[in-house]
């Protein structure tokens, strides 16, 4: 990074990048005492996310918040695990497990350091209430702004999301850097003129499914953690 290319805004993907969705869902399923493989259940629930989102993006379903998509997916997978008789009250409570996910251990300290130099915002497909709950649950994640697909009524990777961050914060796209643990998200952001930083999260899908975190694009900053990112950005 050169001083000229330093961003003003860091926009963070949340699920997998900031919070450990797999560990959180496994913990909640185990706490309920459900007679299922909690790891498989978490992976199945998350596995329905992209197909559900694509139904909305293709116009087969109207705009739908992620909370509601999560509930649709939950209802779809319960019979696979022999849980079709789960009562409504329990389904509703379990669906809000996504609001109680813990941040990765490096996140809070890393964000606090980055906040001293950059504007920090979320850029997540999660809905606003979900992101606010995660920030409060995570020990006060120090966002300056909470932006969501709900803000733009578009899911990532629609360009309206990435360009919307620049528009709302009154900066040029090149002055925004997307920080994410997902190469496809970063590629879509780069196509819109944003800077990008990849964060290694090898355990995003749990210890049974270690993720390949090797560099895939020389245009990304590549950081082992949020604290490493502060070093790369001179924060």
- Give the pLDDT score at 219: 66
Same domain for 133 and 223: yes
- Give the pLDDT score at 4: 40
Mean pLDDT across the stretch 55-61? 92
* Low-confidence winner among 1-10, 21-30, 94-103 (lowest mean pLDDT): 1-10
Q: pLDDT digits over 142-184, tens only?
A: 999 999 999 999 999 999 999 999 999 999 999 999 999 999 9
- Give the pLDDT score at 5: 62
CATH number of the domain where residue 38 is located: 1.10.150.240
Same domain for 115 and 75: no
Mean pLDDT taken over the chain: 94
pLDDT band at residue 216 using 50, 70 and 90 as cut-offs: confident
Give strand pairing partners of 186: none
Which of 99, 122, 137 lies at the terminal end of a domain, its last residue? Answer: 99
Same domain for 14 and 75: no
Domain range for 112 is 3-20+102-232
Mean pLDDT across the stretch 200-226? 90
pTM: 0.94
Same domain for 61 and 156: no
DSSP secondary structure letters along 2-66: -GGG--SEEEE--BTTTB-HHHHHHHHHHHTT-SS-HHHHHHHHHHTHHHHHHHHHTTSS----H
Question: How far, CA to CA in Å, does 186 sit from each of 61, 167, 189, 199, 220?
Answer: 26, 19, 5, 11, 8
- Give the pLDDT score at 107: 98
Q: What share of the chain is helix, strand, coil (3-state, %, to 5)?
A: 50, 15, 40
CATH number of the domain where residue 228 is located: 3.40.50.1000
- Give the pLDDT score at 2: 44
Same domain for 190 and 83: no
- Give the pLDDT score at 156: 96
Q: Which of 17, 26, 43 is nearest to 202 (CA)?
A: 17
Same domain for 65 and 49: yes
Give strand pairing partners of 146: 122
- Give the pLDDT score at 220: 81
Mean pLDDT across the stretch 184-206? 96
pLDDT at 3 over 60: no
- Give the pLDDT score at 182: 96
């Amino acid at each position: 990074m050169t001083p000229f290319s330093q961003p003003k805004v860091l926009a963070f993907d949340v699920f997998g990048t900031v919070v450990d969705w797999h560990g959180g869902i496994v913990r909640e399923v185990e706490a309920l005492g459900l007679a299922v493989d909690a790891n498989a259940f978490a992976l199945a629930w998350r596995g329905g996310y992209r197909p559900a989102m694509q139904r909305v993006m293709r116009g087969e379903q109207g705009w739908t918040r992620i909370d509601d998509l999560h509930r649709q997916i939950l209802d779809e997978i319960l019979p696979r695990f022999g849980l079709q008789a789960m009562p409504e009250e329990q389904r509703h409570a379990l669906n809000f497990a996504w609001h109680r996910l813990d941040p990765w251990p490096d996140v809070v300290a890393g964000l606090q350091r980055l906040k001293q130099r950059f504007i920090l915002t979320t850029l997540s497909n999660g809905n606003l209430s979900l992101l606010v709950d995660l920030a409060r649950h995570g020990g006060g994640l120090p966002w300056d702004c909470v932006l969501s697909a709900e803000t733009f009524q578009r899911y990532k990777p629609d360009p309206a999301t990435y360009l919307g961050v620049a528009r709302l914060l009154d900066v040029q796209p090149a002055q925004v850097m997307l920080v994410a643990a997902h190469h496809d998200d970063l590629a879509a952001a780069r196509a819109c003129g944003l800077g990008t930083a990849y964060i290694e999260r090898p355990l995003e899908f749990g210890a049974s499914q270690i993720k390949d975190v090797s560099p895939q694009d020389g245009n990304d900053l590549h950081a082992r953690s949020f604290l490493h990112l502060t070093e790369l950005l001179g924060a």
